[in-house]
Chains A and B, each alone.
Chain A
């Protein structure tokens, strides 16, 4: 069941992202020449590099982010590979690697939450959207950027999901829950991991788009 749901969810996610990229290009007019595609790839890759202008704390933040991203990739690969392709429980070396990087991701997320949370607050610029959403006052003022809004929502969702994601598996390691609860916790972990993966991928794509848009504006 989980295998089918996961395949459908991932297929829908990637289809949605593809549609978004096609219908709403970051830079208009769209340039699809080989040179521009290579340039885009290089640009995306350069986002991973540590800029020289960064302070020591900035470097730490960036390194933490990179480690988080790497941990996520490892966890997603080890967690979903056997399940998606063979519908098997995670086991063997995959399990060892998954558990190890699970701890790393937990630490990184905790650190990122401390480093980044302030900059991802919804400030008063988002009030007009809230007003429109709640329909309590006619829309007025300058609306915030929708990509950034989605990115912030994803950011908060990542941290909200991270707590049950971690606890569902860590608590099952204590002698607290019997087999039925263990199975429930494992299911919770699986489905939250799926949602977490979807949000992280969406957040990453949105962040790349946001960054490219920013760089384009600056240039």
Chain B
């Protein structure tokens, strides 16, 4: 009896203690905010991926792991759910369409938007045959680690490579380092070299790495390098600056919550090729002393605010509705306390602008991006053109070609400035359904056909014509068994029918557009500041500007589209409306004059009536 009671008591104790443990979320010391505005000093030991302390005397030295080193005090699992790392999670609300990754390959005349997020118009990496391993190899250069870099590939061969390369853990230093010797370009280089385990350490100011996993055979064993001595020089080796360890073998990390703009810019630079002068204009917010994280901030969840209108519908960040153009500059009048003027944001007056503009246009339409020209220009971005990485092609013509600025309707129905990409890729068509082909298969099959007679501009469109497309489709037909190959470019699909190219429109060929918000111009350079005709005239770029149709086919390059075609507006109406502004000054003058006449007549007869009335009163 006593024994049974004891057993039961122990069992209940164990069960309840289990529940108690499950109910209490582990709180990390670095995530508890004491309320002090002082930054914590990060004098901490380096830990390798197994959590072992790294000592300068170790032989061989292991690269430090951010998951272990930073994760000792910060909740790595929570951080992993942040916007920069959660694209691979299909349950995350993708929010407003953003800049996709763009797979560009001049040898196959391809540029195609790719994203793990469900943004309409983008393709999933799997559709192109990009496994998480390949995706990270191609695009990891401008990732802060995590995401696809931590996914395990389904391909056994790739799994072996992943074992060698290690996980591309979230690189906290990519954003938080404030040391000017921290080199994100080195991180990008290590990703390409498949030195993923070493990447964060190599980029840091106190370590350097030699060697290249990409050169190692799949059977290489780091624990037994003597088995393959010929690959010894290629095996990655890390060197730490011995002087940075203190007497307790700790290291000072120069990190901060106040992220430097240059850290953001490594992945988020947007370089305007044309018009060049717009490059001179810094974003007005930065010029005013704000930083990127003044608006785009987050808590430990790292669910960074993208700061677009309506973000609170998609984001779990409680401040998502508090930081946007309108939230900071206009505030929410329904709130009991004034909310406008966040970080001294001035309240706009918008004199002479009818309020209907605010229903039809986003704030960025008038205030962001370069001043529109009658012909759209192009931009290069960090993530699309590997800006800032070692050996990045600095030529303006390199693929992908991003057309900007295009005033188009965005997802909430307002006209906003966008970047635009005309997809060009090889696909397979079956029963009206078109799916992109595996990019590696395409490259192996037709790069010889496409590259024939190439001119030296190797990263631009190859010289293409209908004959080349026909030959390439025929070549692809030999490897594509289900359906027939087609080529998509310039907004149209090309299929082979009776030895001739059949060109037709299809949803899949439509351009991908994503809204832009930067650089924000000063109010004195906003659209409409001079006169209504900045937008409302038949030669205003805003509506009647030419949008470049980018295509490898020279004949299609002249087929521009008009800006209003992206605004869901009747062109006849828009021309008519714009034309009415020619007479608008006269109309204003005449109506004012008419009001004056009416006023004068009323005044005259009013005075007369008063005169008569007073006379009548005085006569008794």
Contacts and interface: CB of A to CB of B under 8 A. Distances in A.
A182 B602 CA distance: 26
A92 B87 CA distance: 40
Interface in B530-580: 570, 573, 576-577, 580
A95 to B, nearest CB: 8
A173 B588 contact: yes
Given A177-B352, A178-B349, A182-B355, A163 B580 contact: no
Contact of B595 (A89, A170, A182): A170
A166 B352 contact: no
Interface in A169-197: 170, 172-179, 182-183, 186
Contact of A179 (B350, B594, B601): B350
Interface stretch (A20-28, A69-77, A99-107, A208-216): A99-107
A179 B358 contact: yes
B608 to A, nearest CB: 8
B598 A110 contact: yes
A127 B619 CA distance: 13
B352 A175 contact: yes
Interface in B328-366: 348-356, 358-359
Q: Give the dominant DSSP class at A's interface.
A: helix
B116 to A, nearest CB: 39
Nearest to A182: B355
Given A92-B573, A170-B591, A179-B349, A122 B609 contact: yes
A114 interface: yes
B606 to A, nearest CB: 9
From A92, A103, A117, A159, residue with most partner B Cβ within 10 Å: A103
Contacts of B616: 127
B592 A170 contact: yes
B587 interface: yes
A159 B594 CA distance: 11
Given A89-B359, A96-B576, A99-B580, A172 B599 contact: no
A102 B577 CA distance: 15
B359 A174 contact: no
Nearest to B605: A117
A126 B152 CA distance: 97
B43 interface: no
Nearest to A170: B591
Contacts of B353: 179, 182
Contacts of A95: 577
A22 B247 CA distance: 106
B595 A93 contact: no
Contacts of B359: 89
A158 to B, nearest CB: 10
Nearest to B529: A175
A167 B590 CA distance: 12
Contact of B602 (A127, A159, A172, A179): A159
Nearest to A127: B616
Interface string B459-482: 000000000000000000000000
Contacts of A178: 348-351
B584 interface: yes
Nearest to B347: A178
A107 B595 CA distance: 9
A82 interface: no
Contacts of A117: 601, 605
Contacts, number: 95
Contact of B573 (A96, A99, A176): A96
A103 B587 contact: yes
Interface string A116-130: 010001100001000
A103 B593 CA distance: 11
A109 interface: yes
A149 interface: no
A106 B354 contact: no
A162 interface: yes
Nearest to A89: B356
Interface in A133-184: 159-160, 162-163, 166-167, 170, 172-179, 182-183
A63 B584 CA distance: 25
B594 A166 contact: yes
A87 interface: no
B7 interface: no
A178 to B, nearest CB: 4
Contact of A107 (B358, B570, B594, B609): B594
A6 interface: no
B587 A99 contact: yes
Nearest to B352: A175
Contacts of B595: 106, 110, 162-163, 166-167, 170
A102 B352 CA distance: 19
A170 B354 CA distance: 11
Given A127-B616, A179-B349, A179-B353, A103 B591 contact: yes
Contacts of B352: 172-177, 182
A176 B351 contact: yes
A36 interface: no
B329 to A, nearest CB: 11
B588 A174 contact: yes
B607 interface: no
A102 B583 CA distance: 13
B590 A175 contact: no
Contacts of A106: 590-591, 594-595
B71 to A, nearest CB: 49
A117 B605 CA distance: 9
Contacts of A122: 609
Contacts of A113: 597-598, 601-602
A102 B354 CA distance: 17
Nearest to A103: B587
A95 B602 CA distance: 29
A177 B577 CA distance: 23
Nearest to B576: A96
Contacts of B570: 92
A170 B588 contact: yes
Nearest to A160: B602
A174 B354 CA distance: 10
B34 to A, nearest CB: 43
Given A96-B580, A103-B587, A175 B351 contact: yes
A177 B349 CA distance: 8
A183 B349 CA distance: 12
A93 to B, nearest CB: 6
Nearest to A177: B351
A120 to B, nearest CB: 9
B601 A114 contact: yes
A109 B587 contact: no
Contacts of A175: 351-352
A130 to B, nearest CB: 8
Contacts of B609: 122
Interface of A: 89, 91-93, 95-96, 99-100, 102-103, 106-107, 109-110, 113-114, 117, 121-122, 127, 159-160, 162-163, 166-167, 170, 172-179, 182-183, 186
22 contacts: A93-B576, A96-B577, A99-B580, A100-B580, A107-B591, A107-B594, A114-B601, A117-B601, A117-B605, A122-B609, A159-B601, A172-B354, A173-B588, A174-B352, A174-B588, A175-B351, A177-B352, A179-B353, A179-B358, A182-B354, A183-B355, A186-B354
List of 3 A-B pairs having minimum Cβ-Cβ separation, nearest first: A175-B352, A178-B349, A110-B594
Given A106-B591, A110-B597, A182-B355, 8 more contacts: A89-B359, A92-B573, A96-B580, A103-B590, A163-B599, A170-B592, A177-B351, A178-B351
